[in-house]
Amino acid sequence: MPDTQLSPGAIARLEEIRIAAESAIDKQAALGPDVDITRFKTVSEQQKIETLESLQKQVKETVIHSGFMADESDRSASYFQMDRTPIYERVQKAFDDAIEITSTEDALRLWPEEMIEKYWWRAVMPDKDKYTALVALHQTEGYFIRVKAGRKVEKPIQACLFVSESNVSQNVHNIIIVEDGAEANVITGCNVHVDVKEGLHAGISEFYVGKGAKLTFTMVHNWAADFSVRPRTGVVVDDDGVYINNYVLLTPVKSIQAFPVAKLVGKRSTAVFNSIVYGLKDSIIDLGSEAQLIGEGSRSEAVARTVSMDQSTVYSRGRLIGRTNDCKAHLDCRGIVQSAESTQWAIPDLASEGAPGAELSHEAAISPIAAEEIYYLMTRGLPKDEAVSMITRGFVNIDIPGLPDVLRKQIDKAIEETSKEAM
């Protein structure tokens, strides 16, 4: 935490955050099953490492499933947090003057006044619910990424939040700033060690997309079957800024509930949410997104594809709120239920608040793969299971910009496996 040289204004603001958080520490979230946060101890300290190659083989193999490359090939910068410790932070030489990557607590130490004034709990409220309160009061680091004005970094920046112990909560606070005219492609993976059973990941993410800037943010979740996950994300997009959010969940989880909010305050700002979700085992998955269309000419699109198996329950939500006359947004969520014991909800939600010119629309559908489509592919010589997997792959094959190849292959593999089970 920052030292004593803080301005009175900054001190007052930190105090405000603390008081707000304390008031909300028992406040249940509006959505998702309630998690007893008192059951978990905070994650432990770990040793720093010199190179990612020195990570345990098993860890490397786990994180690669979320697109994290231990050899840092085709990556511009890396952040690796093990439990509560940022064990590795590095910017590749070519991008030294373009990217800053560190832990959020270090960022707060380095630039306290700027952080507190502009970015610290500005896009997510600390008293939203018990999970935001938990992070505000017992933060265990998180990543800070800043891409400097005008710098267009095509190579992905990778961040990994890893949990190696059971019965702990990892309470991270992440901040990404893409300054005016800059571009960044961030891939984050959240993973747990194969031996980890129960636990909680509470992750606050605050993203700031500057004027004419672009942030492509891809998040892959790779949790354990007894893990509870409560991310809270707020994104603020300035004039002509573009925010693209890609989310992929292919493994079982006890429960996850997330509802990222993009505030399109800038003129002609854009937010796009793409998600591919597989509901497996008895996972309870409650995901959605909200776009607040505030700036004149703002646009948003949300595309969700969900396939649910086993005894899983999946909620696919989407909310569009038009607050300016010149705005346009569309939701497209489709689901396939592949098990008689699985439940899916598609819940689109549109509002025009004092904006008679707002154009908001949605398409939501839950339906099986049509038998005639399967037979059609079979008449060309494809066996039934391959026909089902090809159609399912097509179903989730939404155009996701910036999705790494390794993820595309991972998605294909999951489809292949689940299609065989569904036969």
Is the Cβ of residue 213 or residue 250 nearer to other proteins in the bound state? 250
Which residues does residue 286 pair with via DSSP β-bridges, in sequence order? Answer: 257, 315
For residue 237, CA distances in Å to 149, 154, 261 come to: 15, 19, 11
HSE-up (13 A, CA, CB side) for residue 274: 17
Identify residues 392-411 at the interface with other proteins (CB under 8 A).
Answer: 393-397
Is the Cβ of residue 213 or residue 396 nearer to other proteins in the bound state? 396
Cβ of residue 361: shortest distance to other proteins, in angstroms? 19
Is the Cβ of residue 195 or residue 376 nearer to other proteins in the bound state? 376
Is the Cβ of residue 149 or residue 398 nearer to other proteins in the bound state? 398
Cβ of residue 380: shortest distance to other proteins, in angstroms? 4
Cβ of residue 244: shortest distance to other proteins, in angstroms? 20
Identify residues 115-134 at the interface with other proteins (CB under 8 A).
Answer: none
Q: Tally Cβ neighbours within 10 Å of residue 163.
A: 24
CA 15 to CA 8: how far, in whole Å? 11
Cβ of residue 391: shortest distance to other proteins, in angstroms? 6
For helices 371-378 and 384-396, what crossing angle results, to 10°? 120
Cβ of residue 396: shortest distance to other proteins, in angstroms? 8
| 176-205 footprint of other proteins as x/- string (CB under 8 A) | ------------------------------
Cβ of residue 171: shortest distance to other proteins, in angstroms? 39
Cβ atoms of 325 and 356 closer than 8 Å: yes
CA 100 to CA 96: how far, in whole Å? 8
Is the Cβ of residue 31 or residue 398 nearer to other proteins in the bound state? 398
State the number of binding residues for other proteins (CB under 8 A). Answer: 22
Cβ of residue 276: shortest distance to other proteins, in angstroms? 12
| 356-395 footprint of other proteins as x/- string (CB under 8 A) | --------------xxxx-xxxxxxxxxx--x--xx-xxx
Is the Cβ of residue 372 or residue 405 nearer to other proteins in the bound state? 372
| Run of H or E including 59 | helix 57-64
Is the Cβ of residue 296 or residue 385 nearer to other proteins in the bound state? 385
CA 115 to CA 121: how far, in whole Å? 9
Is the Cβ of residue 122 or residue 393 nearer to other proteins in the bound state? 393
Q: Does 412 bind other proteins (CB under 8 A)?
A: no
Is the Cβ of residue 354 or residue 381 nearer to other proteins in the bound state? 381
Cβ of residue 381: shortest distance to other proteins, in angstroms? 4
Strands 168-178 and 85-91, bridge-based pairing: unpaired
CB-based burial label for 116 (10 Å; 0-12, 13-18, 19+): buried
Q: Could you please report the per-residue DSSP string of 305-374? A: EEEE-TT-EEEEEEEEEE-SSSEEEEEEEEEEE--TT-EEEEEEEEEESS-TT-EEEEEEEE-PPPHHHH
Strands, DSSP E only, in 15-163?
A: 41-42, 77-82, 85-91, 99-103, 143-147, 157-163
| 316-355 footprint of other proteins as x/- string (CB under 8 A) | ----------------------------------------
CB-based burial label for 362 (10 Å; 0-12, 13-18, 19+): middle
Cβ of residue 364: shortest distance to other proteins, in angstroms? 15
Q: Tally Cβ neighbours within 10 Å of residue 167.
A: 13
Cβ of residue 409: shortest distance to other proteins, in angstroms? 17
Is the Cβ of residue 36 or residue 372 nearer to other proteins in the bound state? 372
Q: For binding to other proteins (CB under 8 A), which residues are involved?
A: 370-373, 375-384, 387, 390-391, 393-397
